[in-house]
Amino acid sequence: MAEVHLDCLGEACPVPLIKTQNKLNQLNVGDILIVEIDHSCAMKNVPEWARKEGYPVEIEEIEEGHWYIYIEKNK
């Protein structure tokens, strides 16, 4: 079970979402993707997309305006 970090700092939406989609495709089932973002818009569409796909999602604000989105590729 790998943990993969994806650096999307400084990227405006929709770039973080596209990167997340591409990265998640490359991962194996059971891996956890940690997306680092600082764009509040990506805070909406990345978790929304992942939840819709049926992946477990968690969000953590590491510091002001800097978030980690945890996505588990469970299938």
Partner 1 sequence: MEQPQASLKSRVHTVTAKPSVKKKNQLGYGIALLAAIILFGVFLSNIKAPLAIRWMLGIALGFVLQRSRFCFTAATRDPFLTGSTSLLRAVLIAIMIATVGFAAIQYNAFSAGKPVPGNISPVGIHTIIGGIIFGIGAVIAGGCASGTLMRVGEAYIMNMIALVFFIAGSALGAYHFGWWKANVIKNAPSIFLPNVLGWPLAFFGQLVLLFALYWLALWWDYRKAE
Q: Which residues does the annotation mark as catalytic?
A: 13
Q: Are 6 and 19 in contact (CB under 8 A)?
A: yes
In the complex with partner 1, the residue whose CB is nearer, 26 or 61, is 61
Out of 8, 24, 32, 35, the only residue in the binding site for partner 1 (CB under 8 A) is 32
CA distance 34 to 4: 6
In the complex with partner 1, the residue whose CB is nearer, 2 or 26, is 2
Q: Are 22 and 14 in contact (CB under 8 A)?
A: no
Binding mask 35-74 for partner 1 (x = CB under 8 A): ----xxx-xxx--xx--x---xxx-xxxxxx--x-x-x--
Mode of pairing for the β-strands spanning 3-8 and 32-37: parallel
